[in-house]
Amino acid sequence: MTSEPESGNDEMVDALVSRGYIETEIVEDAMRAVDRAAFVPESQRENAYRDSPLQIGEGQTISAPHMVAMMTEELQLEPGLEVLEVGTGCGYHAAVTAAAVGATHVTTVEYHDTLASKARKNLEAVGQGAVTVVVGDGSTGFQPDAPYDRVYLTCAAAETPEFLQQQLLDGGIAVLPIGKTSQALYVVERDGDALESREVAGVRFVPLLGEEG
């Protein structure tokens, strides 16, 4: 029998607002709309609202709430934007994104079919079943639904992925961790043929898997 979490999703979001991780109404509303507890394994349920990553199986994690908030803010989401996520995991981050832009505008690619299956069930359970969950090699993006206004990775690439040159629209934004032993979160903006990057903060993510991982 598992313990119920001591606090709640709203209290978690309140803390992120007070600490400055959430700055905009669209991000606050999206994170309030998605209960993190619905995406963590039963064995981790009592830690659902703790601001830390949690193991979800296959050596993967659900990101800490503050990291989801930071990345979502940096993406500058708006309703109707087409978004690609690489690294579905349990589906939590995709659900937050879908709450901001609309579920039909989100494509997410997961390397492990077991996690993709769980993510589909989780997304369906919170009313975001229209998110497109693909099993495959996200290190090369997902060409069938390209191009995208926004792209983000929930796993660390060794360098800026080549697929952004073909799949990110001009004026588009990508947010991703880059690095191996030392990682940092970067915001990459497409300006014509150029990709302009800026570093946001030091981070620690699981590595990107696949051909370009």
182 noted as active-site residue: no
Residues 6+ apart with CB under 8 A from 124: none
Of 18, 43, 63, 197, the active-site residue reads: 63
184 closest CA partner among 159, 203, 206, 169 = 203
**Strand 194-203 relative to strand 183-191, pairing:** antiparallel
Separation between Cα atoms, residue 192 and residue 14, nearest integer Å: 39
Residues 6+ apart with CB under 8 A from 56: 40, 41, 44, 62, 89, 90, 115, 118
Q: How many CA atoms lie within 13 A of 3 on its CB side?
A: 7
Catalytic residues: 63
